Every structure is written in structure tokens, then in C-alpha cells.
């Protein structure tokens, strides 16, 4: 079960594979939360958060998750395992009564050094795709399946000569669905 206490509203967004993204703010913790429900109704089980307040969340046509919100100080605005801190601005820079805003784009089919990808392939084996060093990747499984399929495409972004891509398989097993990874960009508002 998803168990967080959103304030006022919950956003529900559905990607092209039928995954439901549940997101909202919790006034008790002062955090923004996001979680995913699989297309079969099973909660992902992983609730991600950032110490920000978001006013708007949506998915674009490419299943990028777009978050618009405000933050203060050097808070990590990325709710995934990656860390993204925007430059802090003084009250004088912001102006009287103004808050520091941000817009964040998260690739829900992305991976980077902080967010490796694990899934079950067509044979039920656990496949691990990991990046070390700079850069990120966008992936899709064959037939755009959420799991029990093979990797179709892996597109690499912003890598350099220090980046390592590793793909390994292990014996068959059970994986709790955890297909929410990140490749994000943010902009001050």
C-alpha cells in the first residue's frame, strides 16, 4: 500500500504503459512524495521524496515526469536516488516575498550512476544495467513491455571516457518492481 499523507490533493498521471504515478505534498514532513503503481494495480513499493513543495506534476508525451515547485536553500530537488541541488539565492536576489522555484524533468525510463536498472528478462533472469561515472541512459524493453522482456534500446547521454556501462545477468529470481529511474534536468524558476 502507498502510505503517505498528502496535503490538499494528489496528482495521478498515467504513462503509455499504464503505470500510475501518484504524487503530492505532505505538510507534516514538508516533503514532496511520488510513488508508482504498476499497470496491474500493484504498488511499486518505493516512495520517493524531496524536501520541496510541488504545485504541479504531469507526464509529457515521452513519459518524462515534469515537476514544478519551490525550494529553499540547497535542498535536493530530485526525488529519485540522484542528488540535484540548485544554486542558492539570497532573499535580496529573489525579491521580497518571493520563493525559489524550479522545474524538474525526470526520465521515468532512465538510469544513471545513482539509479541502476534491474528487471526480469524473457527467461526470468535478473538483468542489471548500471552506469558508473558521468552520463545517463534512456532504455526501453522489447515491445515496450514493463518487464519479462529483453532490452531493446539503450541510448547514452552525456557520457565521457570515464563512463562505464555494465550489463549482467544473474539467475532467475523475484524482483520487486522498481523501474523508476532518473535522468533529469532542472531549471530555476
Partner 1 sequence: MQHIFTHDALQNMGSILLGSNVFFGDESLDNIPDLHVSGKLNKLVLGDVSQNTLIQLGDGLPYNVARRRNHSRHL
Q: Which residues bind partner 1 (CB under 8 A)?
A: 125, 127, 133, 142, 150-169
Decide whether 77 or 137 has the Cβ nearer to partner 1.
137
Q: Which residues does residue 31 pair with via DSSP β-bridges, in sequence order?
A: 26
Q: What minimum distance in Å lies between the beta carbon of 133 and partner 1?
A: 6
Judge contact between 55 and 69, C-beta under 8 A.
Answer: yes
Decide whether 53 or 159 has the Cβ nearer to partner 1.
159
Judge contact between 115 and 82, C-beta under 8 A.
Answer: yes
Decide whether 52 or 136 has the Cβ nearer to partner 1.
136
Q: What minimum distance in Å lies between the beta carbon of 124 and partner 1?
A: 13
Q: What minimum distance in Å lies between the beta carbon of 134 and partner 1?
A: 9
CA distance linking residue 88 with residue 113, whole number of Å = 25
Decide whether 87 or 162 has the Cβ nearer to partner 1.
162
Q: What minimum distance in Å lies between the beta carbon of 136 and partner 1?
A: 10
Decide whether 7 or 152 has the Cβ nearer to partner 1.
152
Amino acid at each position: 500500500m502507498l502510505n503517505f499523507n498528502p496535503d490538499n490533493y494528489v496528482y495521478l498521471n498515467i504513462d503509455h504503459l499504464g503505470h500510475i504515478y501518484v504524487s503530492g505534498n505532505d505538510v507534516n514532513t514538508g516533503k514532496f512524495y511520488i510513488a508508482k503503481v504498476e499497470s496491474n494495480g500493484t504498488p511499486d513499493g518505493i516512495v520517493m521524496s524531496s524536501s520541496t513543495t510541488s504545485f504541479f506534476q504531469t507526464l509529457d508525451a515521452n513519459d518524462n515526469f515534469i515537476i514544478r515547485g519551490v525550494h529553499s536553500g540547497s535542498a535536493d530537488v530530485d526525488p529519485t536516488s540522484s542528488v540535484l541541488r540548485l544554486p542558492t539565492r539570497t532573499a535580496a536576489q529573489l525579491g521580497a516575498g518571493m520563493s525559489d522555484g524550479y522545474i524538474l524533468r525526470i526520465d521515468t525510463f532512465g538510469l544513471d550512476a545513482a539509479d541502476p536498472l534491474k528487471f526480469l528478462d524473457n527467461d526470468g533472469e535478473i538483468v542489471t544495467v548500471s552506469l558508473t561515472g558521468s552520463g545517463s541512459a534512456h532504455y526501453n524493453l522489447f515491445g515496450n513491455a514493463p518487464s519479462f522482456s529483453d532490452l531493446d534500446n539503450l541510448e547514452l547521454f552525456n557520457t565521457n571516457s570515464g563512463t562505464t556501462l555494465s550489463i549482467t545477468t544473474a539467475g532467475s529470481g523475484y524482483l520487486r518492481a522498481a523501474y523508476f529511474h532518473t535522468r533529469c534536468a532542472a531549471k530555476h524558476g
